[in-house]
Amino acid sequence: MVIITLQRNKCIGCNYCVEVAPAQFQMSKKDGKSVLLYATEKKGFFTLKTPDDTIFEASLEAKKACPVKIIEVKQR
């Protein structure tokens, strides 16, 4: 199980997460911020829980690439 969390309101729109993990992230044409695909939102936190462990490495790289540190990635 992989759990990815994005604090979207703090996103600066640098696009690094999309470059590293395009299957999980996309840039919004509306406001220029990152979107965590297939995530659910709760109090400003967007969370994706998936049994697909193949996305863990790319998601971890996106976390490391984020200059404002708003991406969390956990594997259970």
Question: What per-residue confidence (pLDDT) applies to 13?
Answer: 97
16-45 burial by CB neighbour count: b if 16+ within 10 A, else e? bbbebbeebbebeeeeebbbbeebeeeeeb
Question: What per-residue confidence (pLDDT) applies to 71?
Answer: 98
pLDDT one-digit tens code per residue, 48-64: 999 999 999 999 999 99
pLDDT one-digit tens code per residue, 4-36: 999 999 999 999 999 999 999 999 999 999 999
Question: What per-residue confidence (pLDDT) applies to 42?
Answer: 96
Nearest one of 62, 73, 72, 70 to 20, comparing CA atoms:
62
Question: What per-residue confidence (pLDDT) applies to 28?
Answer: 97
Domain count, the chain: 1
Question: What per-residue confidence (pLDDT) applies to 3?
Answer: 98
Domain that holds residue 49: 2-75
What is the rounded CA–CA span in Å between residue 58 and residue 2? 11
Domain at 32, CATH number: 3.30.70.20
